[in-house]
Amino acid sequence: MMAEAVLANRRGGLGRTERRDLWWAGPLATALGLGGFVVYATFRALYNTDFRVVPPDSAYILSPFYSPLIVLPWLPPWVSPAILILWAPGGFRLTCYYYRKAYYRAFFLDPPACAVGEARGHDYRGETRLFLFQNLHRYFLYLALIFLVILSIDVVYACIWPADGGKTFGISVGTLVLGTNVTLLTLYTFSCHSLRHLVGGNVDCFSCVAMGQLRHGLWKNVSLLNKHHMFWAWTSLFMVAFADFYVWMIASGRFTDLRIL
């Protein structure tokens, strides 16, 4: 009976459902959150200015959208250093197992939620043909791990302040913002389904493989983080946008970066 109702809803057109809960809230929040991020990130990637502050006024603080900073003077001005690198973290998020579910529902409405009618009828074909590119996720994961190292080095630079012709250790709000950003990105990356598979999920018998104990420990810890992958996905997304916004504000002189230590 329930299955018949589900099929009837699906045949009945977009949004038709027997559900009485707020099923549309999740797809709507995803559309607003992801859509807003894409608009902001595109604008900032094309903006191509106010993405860093440099000594002697401050430590070296670089926006995560522009890190690593690759400057190729022979490129046209609209090709900013951000455009040269953002495809890698962007591809990592685009092919993320969690985001796939979320944006298929929010943007393709195919279907918008469980037991809710879809526009094109029930002809789900899975991730075939054009969607085979989603299999690249594990390769984007390798790139994301490299980005974590680079962003961590940026935090170290943000702790080196100029002092009397030399250098000294210091921490500002900007340092904390960059530190929080790389921490959340690390939690997001280390909760990845592909990483879980890589460190131990593909092993049938841990005592039968080399470094089985180590792999079991890694797999257990990644599994713990993996339970909250959606949470890390959203918090790290908002934090990376905020970190860029913060650097934009201090680089343009609208805010002053408060030194704490």
| Closer residue to ligand FES in complex, CB, 137/215 | 137
Of the two residues 64 and 174, which places its CB atom closer to ligand FES in the complex?
A: 64
CA distances from 112 to 99, 109, 117, 131 (A): 14, 4, 8, 18
Tell me which H or E stretch contains 17. Answer: none
Q: Which is nearer to ligand FES, 14 or 145 (CB)?
A: 145
Does 102 engage in binding with ligand FES (CB under 6 A)? no
- 23 near ligand FES, rule: CB under 6 A: no
Q: Applying CB under 6 A, does 98 fall inside the site for ligand FES?
A: yes
- The region of 46-54, 68-76, 90-98, 145-153 touching ligand FES under the rule CB under 6 A is 90-98
> 96 vs 182, which CB is nearer to ligand FES?
96
Q: Tokens at residue 5, please?
A: 């109702």
| Residue 34 is a binding residue for ligand FES (CB under 6 A) | no
231 binds ligand FES (CB under 6 A): no
Residue from the set 53, 192, 222, 240 that interacts with ligand FES by CB under 6 A: 192
Q: Which part of the chain contacts ligand FES (CB under 6 A), choosing from 65-73, 78-86, 92-100, 148-156?
A: 92-100
Length of the chain: 261
97 binds ligand FES (CB under 6 A): yes
**Residues facing residue 160 across a β-bridge:** 169
Q: Quick one: which segment of 18-26, 94-102, 122-130, 155-163 binds ligand FES (CB under 6 A)?
A: 94-102
Contact between residue 45 and residue 148 where contact means Cβ atoms under 8 Å apart:
no
By CB under 6 A, is residue 247 in contact with ligand FES? Answer: no
SS3 259: strand
Please report, for residues 44, 48, 51, 102, 111, the alpha-carbon distance to residue 80 in angstroms, rounded to integers and kept in the order given.
Answer: 10, 5, 11, 29, 37
Nearest of 253, 233, 154, 157 to residue 190 by alpha carbon: 233
Structure tokens at 173: 């709000």
Q: From the CB of 126, what's the least distance to ligand FES, in Å? A: 17
Structure tokens of 194? 């592909």
Tell me the residue ranges of DSSP E strands in the chain: 52-53, 61-62, 160-163, 166-169
Given the rule CB under 6 A, which residues bind ligand FES? 96-98, 137, 192-194, 229
